[in-house]
Amino acid sequence: MQVKTWLQRLTDESNLWFNAIKAEDEGNLESAVSYYVKDVLECARQRSLVRAALSCSCAANCLARMGAWSLARTLYSEAGGIYVENSEVAMSESIREALWSLQEAFENYALAGDSAADTVRERYATLAARTSPFSRADKAARQLESRRAEAVKPDPKKKEANIPDGLAVEIEDFMKTRKSGSAKLDSFDADYVMRSISVGGGSRLDEKSIAS
């Protein structure tokens, strides 16, 4: 039996990400959203959280282009939650990835118009300040705030688009499946961060992982 190369797997017609990109490029946004949300669930199942968050954000982009602004905000918010989840997973291995994930979470929450963006900003600022002698929490918060995107809003000249029933059900089922796995923003513990970066606290981190 012939083993597929990584390039063959990437371009395989059964690859959800490839099919989503292809459908989006062809202007078939409904199919693209369907493939993206399937990819989110598959990647989350495999604990590939960055890819899951990216697919969720791409699905939101497609919905916004379709004029389904309410659903777009919902999926941007979900993408933010997945990035928060990834930041917590990354915390014990790479502070840089944890901070990057919080930046992405902040931007997606901002697009969603979700107040969780403010919580993420404070979390980012606290972590940045605790892990760098040259960073202050208020400065880090201002820097991240400068990246805040305007929330997706309805076009006043257009009515919100109705998406096909089948796609609406698919997104609803997707959100139900994701609900139990969403990260809780109020679970952030600054003491945990200090333990994670303290050699005396039994951390797995070393200088290389902190800088990675």
Classify residue 120: in a domain, yes or no.
no
Asked if residue 138 belongs to a domain, the reply is: no
Q: Is residue 3 in some structural domain? A: no
Per-residue pLDDT of the chain (212 residues), as tens digits, is 555 565 555 455 568 999 999 999 999 999 999 999 999 999 998 889 999 999 999 999 999 999 999 999 999 999 999 999 999 999 888 888 999 999 999 999 999 999 999 999 999 888 888 776 666 777 778 877 877 878 887 777 788 888 899 999 999 988 888 775 554 455 445 454 444 444 443 334 433 333 33
Query: Does 26 map to a domain?
Result: yes
In a domain, 152, yes or no: no
- DSSP labels for 151-188? PP---TTSPPPPPPHHHHHHHHHHHHHHHTTPPPGGG-
Identify whether 22 is part of a domain: yes
The pTM score is: 0.77
**In the chain, how many domains are there?**
1
Whether 206 is covered by a domain: the verdict is yes
User: Which whole-number Å values give the CA distances from 55 to 16, 78, 185, in the listed order?
Assistant: 10, 11, 21
Domain range for 72: 15-95+164-211
